[in-house]
Amino acid sequence: SQKIEQNSEALNIQEGKTATLTCNYTNYSPAYLQWYRQDPGRGPVFLLLIRENEKEKRKERLKVTFDTTLKQSLFHITASQPADSATYLCALDGTGGSYIPTFGRGTSLIVHP
């Protein structure tokens, strides 16, 4: 069955550095992949969507890459700030053309001032 893996350990970085989060998947070929941010006790907030035919997508300080050969997406936050501290979830679209995404467990990012 399809599986999504995100680092379960929190990522701790210093303010100003680039944070890089990883999303790996197996047994699956998604048409697109999404990244969301979730703060404690809140619902996820949509950040970026990247399609299978796109290698890279940017939005302000955010950059997402999508390597369908490696079955991996990288999520980068440049010039990170303490306000970027949150859990970041990746989600793959459903199988068989379904639009219902499957979410990873998320990786917690902590940016230290």
Partner 1 sequence: GAVVSQHPSRVICKSGTSVKIECRSLDFQATTMFWYRQFPKQSLMLMATSNEGSKATYEQGVEKDKFLINHASLTLSTLTVTSAHPEDSSFYICSASSSGQPQHFGDGTRLSIL
CB of 106 to partner 1, least distance (A): 7
Residue 105 lies near partner 1 (rule: CB under 8 A): yes
Structure tokens, 73: 């997406």
Distances 102 to 11, 40, 50, 64, 111 between C-alpha atoms, Å: 22, 20, 15, 18, 27
CB of 87 to partner 1, least distance (A): 9
Q: In sequence order, which residues have a C-beta less than 8 Å from that of residue 31 and are 6 or more positions away?
A: 51, 52, 93, 97
Interface with partner 1, residue 96, by CB under 8 A: no
- State the minimum distance, in angstroms, from the CB of residue 58 to partner 1: 17
Contacts to partner 1 from residues 33-52, by CB under 8 A: 34, 36, 41-46, 49
